[in-house]
Structure 1
Amino acid sequence: MNLSSIFITAFLVGLSGAMMPGPLVTIALNESLKSGLGANLLVSSGHALMEALLVLVLALGLGSMLNQPFIMGFIGIIGSLFLFKMTFDMIRDVHLGKISLDMKASPGSSRNFGPGLSGIFATISNPYWFLWWVTIGSNYVALSLKNGMAGILSFYFGHILSDFSWLFIVGIMVVTGKKFISDTVYRSLILIMGVFLGILSMYFLYSGIKFLS
């Protein structure tokens, strides 16, 4: 992958995760409702800080593993399987009508930690977040490292831009009380993202097998 491909695909993969309902979205909605869009950005910043730390840890750890094809191949194959599961879950939920853009916040969900700390706690308390980074994230970091620090920065900024963008959009919906995206459009976007992840899972699988061959 070149730098542009890393940035664009990192943004799309991140967006596919950010758009699915979860604790971070709930916190962002709640903080936007209470304190406006500024608080929403602080929630995103708390999340981005934890992701920066994790990218740094993975980059330092994987740097010494790039010369071990078996490890990189294993990471690539595991990452592809996890991506495929995400694809299956997203398409299934759209088909079953389980996906809905519910803009209702949950009072008290931030527990008075403040928006920045709430973003951090919502991130690290989510086991799915750790699983994503151990599988998909670690594989992406490994591929990005082939372009050095520029590759890592392209991946990181592409990834966090998706979080900031989506959380800002849903924050605007809460603050203005307007639903700019219908459930039909939302489900269509999720379906498109699911197809994209399926294609990317095949690329990860190909990369993993190539490392082992």
Structure 2
Amino acid sequence: MYTIPDALILGFLIGLTGALAPGPTLIATINASLRTGWSAGPRVTAGHVAVEVMMVFFVVAGVGAVIGSYTGIIAGVGGAALVAFGLLTVRESRHTTGIATAGTEAVTHPVVAGVVTSLSNPYFWIWWLTVGSALLLAAYEGGIVVAGAFVIGHWAADLGWLTLVSASIHRGRFILGEQAYRWILGACGAGLIGFGLYYLVAVFA
């Protein structure tokens, strides 16, 4: 049975391995950092955490097994959403000046990006319905406080890494020319499209 410090450290280490892996949420953080600065990391994390709060409740309530049977549908819908999100980013990169306009802010808002890239990533669901749920339930055997420590440690890793990424991008943004900025933004969009197509191929292969 885990103690509170054990659960906190384990949650942080497990969370860090996931946070460091390249994926749609990391790309969304880079993308948002170019537009809104260092605060993009914490705000993308807030969107990601909002989705994970839902997953924690699902796992503890035993709903995870039911959701697991719909993984294929989730991957298909998620892949399509990432492709659409990426296409919007690529389109915007062709004429952006580095400042998000009122017309694109609703689509590219960091919190929204955190939610969309989490919900649309089938590996997020697979992890929470397998490894994540097992670890969370093991911590929950020690009580709700121990389970809470595990989740807090997990979120601390996400927040720390994505904030570091966004702060680094924010500092580098000031030495980028407008053309370089557009190229990087376009690359972010292409990356999201690539992840989306990969998920769609995995579903229908």
TM-score, with length taken from structure 2: 0.62
Partner of 1:61: 62
1:134 aligns with 2:137: no
Q: 1:38 Cα deviation (Å)? A: 2.0
Aligned to 2:30: 29
Aligned to 2:40: 39
Amino acid at match of 1:45: A
Aligned-partner SS, 2:22? coil
CA deviation string 1:162-202 (max 9, x = no partner): 00000011111111129xxxxxxxxxxxxxxxxxxxxxxxx
State the one-letter code of the partner of 1:59: V
Question: Residues 39-58 of structure 1, C-alpha deviation per residue, up to 9 Å, x if partnerless?
Answer: 32111100001101111111
Aligned partners of 1:52 and 1:156 also within 8 Å: no
Matched to 2:8, the amino acid is F
Structure 1, gaps ≥5 residues long: 63-105, 179-213
Matched positions, count: 136
SS state of the match for residue 27, structure 2? helix
Aligned equivalents of 1:39, 1:170: Cα separation in 2: 9
In structure 2, which of residues 112, 119, 123 is the aligned counterpart of residue 124 of structure 1?
A: 119
Q: Which runs of 5+ in 2 are unaligned?
A: 64-86, 93-103, 174-205
1:152 to 147, 153, 165: 147
Superposition map of 1:172-187 within 5 A: 172-177=167-172
Paired AA for residue 141 in structure 2: K
Identity, % of aligned positions: 30
Q: Displacement, 1:107?
A: 8.5
Flag the 1:21–1:107 CA change in 2: closer, same or farther, 3 A: farther
1:146 partner amino acid: E
**CA separation in 2, counterparts of 1:121 and 1:127?**
12
Contact in 2 for aligned 1:7/1:154 (Cα 8 Å):
yes
Q: Aligned partners of 2:167, 2:41: CA distance in 1, in Å?
A: 9
**Retained in 2: the 8 A contact 1:28–1:171?**
yes
Partners of 1:142 and 1:7 in 2: CA distance: 14
Deviations along 1:144-179, one digit per CA (max 9) or x if unpaired, are: 11111101210110001100000011111111129x
Deviations 1:122-145 (A, max 9, x none): 001001101101111110111111
Write 1 or 2 for the structure with the bigger share of helix.
2
Deviation sequence 1:67-106 (CA, Å, 0-9, x none): xxxxxxxxxxxxxxxxxxxxxxxxxxxxxxxxxxxxxxx9
Residue 7 (structure 1) aligned with residue 8 (structure 2):
yes
CA distance in 1, matches of 2:44, 2:88: 16
Report if aligned partners of 1:30, 1:107 keep a CA contact under 8 Å in 2: no
Paired with 2:40 and 2:3, the residues of 1 have a C-alpha distance of 35
- d(CA) in 2 for partners of 1:35 and 1:149? 36
Report the equivalent of 1:183.
none
